[in-house]
Structure 1
Amino acid sequence: MSARLQGRKALITGSTSNIGRATALAFAAEGAHVIVSGRDRTRGEAVVAHIRRAGGQADFLRADLDGSLAASHALAAAAIEQLGGHIDILVNNAGIFPPGTTLTTDEQAFDRVYAVNVKAAFFLTQAIVPAMISRGSGVVVNLGSWVARLSLPVGALYASTKGAMETLTRAWSAEFGSQGVRVNAIAPGVILASDEDSDTDPPVGLLMHGTPAGRTGHPDAVAAAAVFLASDDAAFVHGTVVDVDGGRTGVAVVADAGAFQAARTA
């Protein structure tokens, strides 16, 4: 590794599994001291142990980010104390994806999804950014999603929360950018859990047929983008959403690429 994050201190929410876990491992491998955070202590401590065995720095802080100001501010305070006084990088990754459609979603589910996916990140950013501004530097990386812009007939509630996070990315960039804090986002595509084989074709893989990549992605791809955005390599990148989706949103998907090519050349 190139140690692009050497000496940086990072808090990554929802980092006990999948994309968050991959991001924590990648940040630590690049030299960052990482706070792994989530609800599951067993999984979180396993991530920390993995990082330490590889020679990296990491600690676990259990947090149930329920959307309240108190929960987000408590995690921020604990992370700052654990990291020795400040946070250089915040990754707002924690989120939940509920099953159901608009017609089957009740008020309790609606409020919980917005609390975890939007409010928690909002109040965590509120708690951490002021010190970044005082130091004149800092990075916030939010997690959006391809479904915020390319809609499906299910998951409207989740998609709307990710649209909110992408909008907050631009708004926060405008609000904090001139004070030294860069804010960007990543919009993952169809990503399999890290313990699954991305070369297989599970039912969700059908969503990637006809895309440039032609297959589902792996959490490591998202983690690599997060490392870039958190590093000085992205010093001139502000307020953008990086699509890590195998071309799913940027390229027209053709169900039968061979037939399409034949028609073009006929």
Structure 2
Amino acid sequence: MSRRLEGKTALVTGSTSNIGRAIATAFAAEGAHVIVSGRDGERGSAVVGRIRAAGGRADFVAADLDGSAAVSDRLAEEATRVLGGRIDILVNNAGIFPGSTTTDTDEKTFDRVYAVNVKAPYFLTAAIAPAMVRAGGGAVINLGSWVARLGIPVGTLYSSSKGAVETLTRAWAAEFGPRGVRVNAIAPGVIVPPAGEGEAHPGEIMMKGTPAGRIGTPDAIAHAAVWLASDEAAFVHGTVVDVDGGRVGAAVIAA
């Protein structure tokens, strides 16, 4: 590793498994002191243990991001304290995915998805970005999704919530960018689920006809996150980086 994040501090929400875990691990390998955050203390401690065993710096801060400003504020406050007074990088990764159709979605599910996927990152960013401004700068990375821009017949609620996150990315770039805080997003494609949490991934069929021709891994998203968090992306603002095997950008016609 090139230690591109040496001396930086980072908070990665939803980082006890899959994409969030890969991002937290990659950040630590690049020199950052990382806060691993999520609901499950046992899984969080395991991630922290693996990072430390590899020579990285990490701590776990529990948080059940329910969309309330109070919970987001508490996470921001505790993470800032553990990290020694500042957060240089915020990754808004935590999210939930109900794969239901529009007519199968009840109001309770609707409200919960928007609370976790939109309200929680909204209020967490509101709590942390101004402190980044006061500290001289920082980076916020949001997790969007390929289904925010390519319609599929299921997951309409999730798709719309990720569309909101990508819109917030551009708006926050305009709001905070002139004051030193870069805001960008990553739109993952179909990503392999955590080991042991499923058999053959049903998303394989969704990647047929794409340049990659296969589902991706969490590490692919982590590599993009490291780049966006680093000084190499200093001139990148308000961008959604597609890491999706070409799903939304190109179609391959099979011979």
Gaps of 5+ in 1: 259-266
Instruction: Tell me which residue corresponds to 2:243.
Output: 244
SS of the equivalent of 1:104 reads coil
Counterpart CA distance in 2 for 1:13 and 1:137 is 20
The reply on whether 1:215 has 2:214 as its aligned counterpart is yes
Count of paired positions: 254
Once residues 222 and 247 of structure 1 are traced to their aligned partners in structure 2, the CA distance between those partners, rounded to angstroms, is: 14
Deviation by residue 1:124-179 (Cα, 9 ceiling, x = unmatched): 00000111111221000000000000010000000000000000000000000000
Structure 2 distance, partners of 1:100, 1:234, is 36
The residue identity in structure 1 corresponding to 2:247 is R
CA offset at residue 210 of structure 1? 1.4
Aligned to 1:203: 202
State the alpha-carbon separation in 2 of the partners of residues 19 and 79 from structure 1: 20
Matches within 5 A, 1:1-266: 1-195=1-195, 202-254=201-253, 257-258=254-255
- 8 Å contact 1:32–1:57 — kept in the other structure? yes
Deviation at 1:201, TM superposition (A): 6.3
Amino acid at match of 1:131: A
TM-score normalised by the chain length of structure 1: 0.93
Once the two structures are superposed, residues 56-95 of structure 1 have per-residue CA deviations (whole angstroms, 9 ceiling, x without a partner) of 0000011000000000000000000000000000000000
Q: Any idea what SS the aligned residue of 2:170 has? A: helix
What's the CA shift for 1:252? 2.2
Aligned residues of 1:9 and 1:33 also touching (Cα < 8 A): yes
Runs of 4+ off more than 6 Å: none
- Structure 2: distance between partners of 1:23 and 1:202: 21
Q: Deviations over 1:174-200 (max 9, x none)?
A: 00000000000000000012427xxx9
Q: Which amino acid counterpart does residue 242 of structure 1 have in structure 2?
A: V
- CA distance, structure 1, for counterparts of residue 205 and residue 105 of structure 2: 26
In 2, are the aligned partners of 1:201 and 1:215 still within 8 Å (CA)? Answer: no
Whether the 8 Å CA contact 1:73–1:127 is kept in 2: the answer is yes
Counterpart secondary structure, 2:184: strand
SS in 2 for 1:187: strand
CA distance in 1, matches of 2:97, 2:178: 34
CA distance in 2, matches of 1:121, 1:202: 28
Task: Provide the residue aligned with 1:262 in structure 2.
Answer: none
One-letter amino acid of the counterpart of residue 51, structure 1: I
User: Whose radius of gyration is greater, 1 or 2?
Assistant: 1
| 2:117–2:162 contact (8 Å) kept in structure 1 | yes
State whether residues 33 and 57 of structure 1, in contact with CA within 8 Å, keep that contact through their aligned partners in structure 2. yes
Post-superposition Cα deviations, 1:81-136, rounded to whole Å, max 9, x if no partner, equal 00000000000000000131110111111000000000000000000011111122
TM-score (norm 2): 0.97
Give the root-mean-square deviation of aligned CA atoms. 1.3
Q: Contact 1:194 / 1:218 at 8 angstroms: preserved in 2?
A: no
Could you tell me how far apart the structure 1 residues matched to 2:231 and 2:33 are? 16
